[in-house]
Structure 1
Amino acid sequence: MPLRITSVKATPVLVPISKSHGGLWLRRTHIDRTIVEIETDVGISGVGETRGLWAADVINSKFAPQLIGLPPLARGLMRSRCLNGVLDYGFPEYQMERLAYAAVDLAAWDIAGKCADLPLYTR
């Protein structure tokens, strides 16, 4: 029986910048990111990341309900459920959803590497 997704949780975080370099970075004290953790029914979890704090809301409210119960190794199915044929006609929200989904995709790849007992870069 294939493993299934039991939970998806996105958390917005502020990553401190320890050393800034030039221009705009001189005024920044942190970088905005969203961290995603996907858990499965066999105890394997995967972690992904994307830019921006806003992505957490998209993932938690829109993507998470679509992902529960799906196999995390079926990345094409996961993508179609979350993005549902979203086409980019120049509207910013389409690009935002794709950027948010990147964290989900990374977490699924993390799970795939753990299932194969291999580092992700060898998959």
Structure 2
Amino acid sequence: MSSVTSPAEIAASLTELWSPRVVAEVDEAYIKVARVHGTLAWHSHADEDELFYVLKGRLVIEMEERSVELGAGEMFVVPKGVRHNPIADEECHLLLIERKTTQHTGDVVTDKTRSLQEQLRPLG
């Protein structure tokens, strides 16, 4: 059974940076929220698109061909296979939509990489 949730409130309550948390699922996709600041890592997802929706703040998504800057209420889909690097100069809250098979930082592993089990752990 579904319940009413506030992605913005959940993202604001997170204590870890760059540690997405699953807040819902729709068919074969997870809806995640994250609190970010600084740089994640250059990476790609070979078989999955990734939707970034900014709840609060600003986010730059660097890609090899171009960069996009998103403000609150704006979204961008990074197409599958495109190397990208999310950057937030100040704290930013995100909603992400990704297939359930999407690895946090693709095939790149850093100290910020979170496993799916970490992303699925209970909130609070």
Fold match by TM threshold 0.5: no
Bigger share in helix? 1
TM-score (norm 2): 0.26
TM-score, structure 1 length as denominator?
A: 0.26
